[in-house]
Amino acid sequence: MIYADNAATTILDKNAFEIMKKYLLEEYANASQPYAFSREAKKALSTARETIAECIGALPEEIYMTSGGTESDNWAIKGLLEQHDKRTTLTSVIEHHAVLNACAAIKRLGYAVDYIDVDSDGVVQPHMLSSRITNHTKLVSIMLANNEIGTIQPIKQLCDVAHHKGALFHTDAVQAVGHIPIHVKELGIDMLSASGHKFYAPKGVGFLYIKKGTPIYPYADGGSQEFGFRAGTENIASIAAMATALKKYCTQMQQDTQKLKKMEQILLEKLNAANIDFIRNGGKNTIPGNISLSIKQVEGEMLLHRLDLKGICISTGSACNAQNTQISHVIKAIGVPLKYAKGTIRISFGAQNYEHDAEIVADALIQILNPSLS
């Protein structure tokens, strides 16, 4: 099998798994208890917080452990309600549904939400934000990197525009953390969401960076865990694994990036050489290994199933039923022509893939699309 759907989830790193075993089977104490047996769990929690903070340029007390990207996004968007006389949340049309549906939920409660379009590469240009932001904007939430097409946003400039108008800035960095360098202080971000299972940590764990002094309400009320802001007994095994994986993949990021960019090149060159008619989505600045292709006059879902039969896992940007093909909100937003949009697939390579995998995936695609060439 070739797993090329790393934007959906990643394999658990072996070192991270070993750490988990220790905190599940041996050092399983509740980190909040006062006895000596809890010391190791407490230490693991504070070390993980320090490690994560160091990886993204934050302070340890600005890292709040959560259950993943969805919770972090919901907290950032809903946690500011009632705090401000400013009432509008401004977000982009290509956000993940964790942000879009959290925004829909606050809209139902009567809070205003506005949506910014993107250009044909999926970028929110700073001038586009400038033209939409008002003095009533309380929060701007724009993802750092898109999950479907990999586009990386000009976050520092967007953040500057938001702050200039007195708005706070949140970014969903679920696809970016552990994959590209991030320094929250240099970028100026107020809140950042991350999810462990996108960077070789387990599923069901993540974190929200909240800049010191950000006027946010707790996400869950109960015990005093996470500085009283996110109650619930901490999942020490997963938290320790998340920190271990993040440190490892931040350390080896440069080598991984080189390898993944080479794989992108191999795949695209092979498709071009076979005269496959496709559009590469996402522009020039994309998450390494994330390759969104819209292929002319085919159904993405058919490609997914045919590749599946060959043991290759990828994703689509469209889903069919008998009557019609539903094109994703992202592919629609960047304006991919219909005859290409229906044939959108996402190949996302990761740390466990090698250059040979890119050749195999390209050959398999060519065989399906143009059997006479293979």
Active-site residue numbers? 320
**Least distance in angstroms from the C-beta of 350 to ligand PLP:** 14
Task: Compare residues 145 and 298 and give the one whose CB is closer to ligand PLP.
Answer: 145
Task: Give helix 253-273 / helix 236-251 axis angle, nearest 10°.
Answer: 70
Among all residues, whose Cβ is closest to ligand PLP? 69
Count Cβ atoms below 10 Å from residue 338 Cβ, excluding itself. 11
Q: What are phi and psi of 258, to 5 degrees?
A: -60, -45
- Residue 282 makes CB contacts below 8 A (sequence gap 6+) with 121, 122, 146, 149, 150, 151, 290, 292
Which listed residue (49, 78, 96, 138) binds ligand PLP by CB under 6 A? 96
**Least distance in angstroms from the C-beta of 23 to ligand PLP:** 20
Q: Considering only residues 123 through 152, tell me which ones interact with ligand PLP, judged by CB under 6 A.
A: 143, 147
Task: Compare residues 70 and 151 and give the one whose CB is closer to ligand PLP.
Answer: 70
| Number of residues this chain uses to bind ligand PLP (CB under 6 A) | 13
Instruction: Give the amino acid at 14.
Output: K
**Least distance in angstroms from the C-beta of 115 to ligand PLP:** 16
Which listed residue (202, 206, 282, 343) binds ligand PLP by CB under 6 A? 206
Nearest of 237, 251, 277 to residue 48 by alpha carbon:
237
**Least distance in angstroms from the C-beta of 68 to ligand PLP:** 3
Task: Compare residues 32 and 285 and give the one whose CB is closer to ligand PLP.
Answer: 285
- 175 is a site residue for ligand PLP (CB under 6 A): yes
**Least distance in angstroms from the C-beta of 12 to ligand PLP:** 14
- Residue 331 makes CB contacts below 8 A (sequence gap 6+) with 148, 149, 281, 294, 317, 318, 341, 344
300 and 343 Cβ atoms separated by less than 8 Å: yes
- 5 is a site residue for ligand PLP (CB under 6 A): no
Question: Cα–Cα distances in Å, from 308 out to 5, 294, 313?
Answer: 12, 18, 6
Strand 137-141, strand 312-313: pairing:
unpaired
Task: Compare residues 276 and 316 and give the one whose CB is closer to ligand PLP.
Answer: 316
Q: Considering only residues 55 through 94, tell me which ones interact with ligand PLP, judged by CB under 6 A.
A: 68-70, 73
165 and 196 Cβ atoms separated by less than 8 Å: no
- 317 is a site residue for ligand PLP (CB under 6 A): no
- Residue 15 makes CB contacts below 8 A (sequence gap 6+) with 244, 245, 248
* C-alpha span between 211 and 188 (Å, rounded): 9
- 235 is a site residue for ligand PLP (CB under 6 A): no
Alpha-carbon torsion (177, 227, 75, 164), positive or negative: negative
278 and 295 Cβ atoms separated by less than 8 Å: yes
Binding segment (CB under 6 A) for ligand PLP, from list 41-49, 152-160, 170-178, 235-243: 170-178
Q: Considering only residues 98 through 127, tell me which ones interact with ligand PLP, judged by CB under 6 A.
A: 98
Which listed residue (63, 77, 174, 331) binds ligand PLP by CB under 6 A? 174
Question: What is the contact surface with ligand PLP in residues (CB under 6 A)?
Answer: 68-70, 73, 96, 98, 143, 147, 172, 174-175, 195, 206
